[in-house]
Amino acid sequence: MSSPKEALQTQLGYRFSNPDLLDEALTHRSVSGPDNERLEFLGDGILNFVIADELFHRRPDATEGVLSRLRATLVNGRTLAELGRQLDLGPSLRLGGGEMKSGGQRRNSILADAVEALFGAVYLDGGFQASRQAILSLYAERLNTLPTERELKDPKTRLQEHLQAVRRPLPRYEVLDVTGKSHDQLFRVACTLQDDQVSAEGEAGSRRKAEQQAAQVMLRRLEGKDEQ
Cβ-based neighbour number of residue 177 at 10 Å: 12
Please say if the pLDDT value at position 220 is more than 60. Answer: yes
Examine the domain organization and report whether 45 and 103 are in the same domain: yes
Q: What is the pLDDT of residues 58-72, one digit of tens each?
A: 999 999 989 998 999
Please say if the pLDDT value at position 18 is more than 60. Answer: yes
Please say if the pLDDT value at position 23 is more than 90. Answer: yes
What contacts 24+ positions apart, CB below 8 Å, involve 61-68? 62/149, 66/149, 66/152
Lowest mean pLDDT among 18-22, 57-61, 95-99, 220-224: 220-224
Q: Domain boundary at 104, 120, 147, which?
A: 147
Q: What is the pLDDT of residues 117-162, one digit of tens each?
A: 999 999 999 999 999 999 999 999 999 999 888 778 889 988 998 8
Query: Is beta strand 186-193 parallel, antiparallel or unpaired with respect to 172-179?
Result: antiparallel
Please say if the pLDDT value at position 180 is more than 80. Answer: yes
Task: Give residue 1's pLDDT.
Answer: 54
* 174 catalytic per annotation: no
Examine the domain organization and report whether 217 and 118 are in the same domain: no
Task: Give residue 228's pLDDT.
Answer: 38
The number of folded domains in the chain is 2
Q: Residues 7-22, buried b or exposed e (16+ Cβ, 10 A)?
A: ebbeebebebeeeebb
Task: Give residue 122's pLDDT.
Answer: 98
Active-site residue, from 24, 44, 99, 125: 44
3-state secondary structure of 186: strand
Task: Give residue 70's pLDDT.
Answer: 93
d(CA 212, CA 215) in angstroms, rounded, equals 5
Task: State the pTM of this model.
Answer: 0.73
Q: What is the 3-state secondary structure (H, E, C) of 115-132?
A: HHHHHHHHHHHHCHHHHH
Q: What is the pLDDT of residues 78-119, one digit of tens each?
A: 899 999 999 999 899 999 988 888 888 888 999 999 999 999
* Average model confidence (pLDDT) across the chain: 91
CATH (domain of 91): 1.10.1520.10
Neighbouring residues of 224: CB distance < 8 A, sequence distance ≥ 6: none
Examine the domain organization and report whether 143 and 175 are in the same domain: no
Task: Give residue 227's pLDDT.
Answer: 44
Beta bridge partner(s), residue 189: 175, 202
Q: How many Å separate Cα 199 from the centre of its chain?
A: 30
CATH (domain of 203): 3.30.160.20
Residues that constitute the known binding site = 40, 113, 116
Q: Domain boundary at 104, 122, 147, which?
A: 147
* 44 catalytic per annotation: yes
d(CA 72, CA 76) in angstroms, rounded, equals 6
Residues that constitute the known binding site for Mg(2+) = 40, 113, 116
Count CA within 13 A, CB hemisphere, residue 118. Answer: 27
Please say if the pLDDT value at position 209 is more than 90. Answer: yes
Task: Give residue 214's pLDDT.
Answer: 96
d(CA 174, CA 154) in angstroms, rounded, equals 18
Residue 39: C-alpha distances to residues 36, 45, 47, 134, 216 (Å) = 5, 10, 12, 15, 39
d(CA 49, CA 104) in angstroms, rounded, equals 29
Q: Report whether 93 contacts 104 (CB < 8 A).
A: yes
Task: Give residue 225's pLDDT.
Answer: 58
74: confidence class by pLDDT, cuts 50, 70, 90: very high
Residue span of the structural domain in which 16 resides: 4-147
Examine the domain organization and report whether 26 and 139 are in the same domain: yes
Examine the domain organization and report whether 72 and 91 are in the same domain: yes
d(CA 78, CA 85) in angstroms, rounded, equals 11
- What single-letter DSSP state applies at residue 14? -
Examine the domain organization and report whether 59 and 129 are in the same domain: yes
Task: Give residue 128's pLDDT.
Answer: 98
Active-site residue, from 24, 116, 125, 211: 116
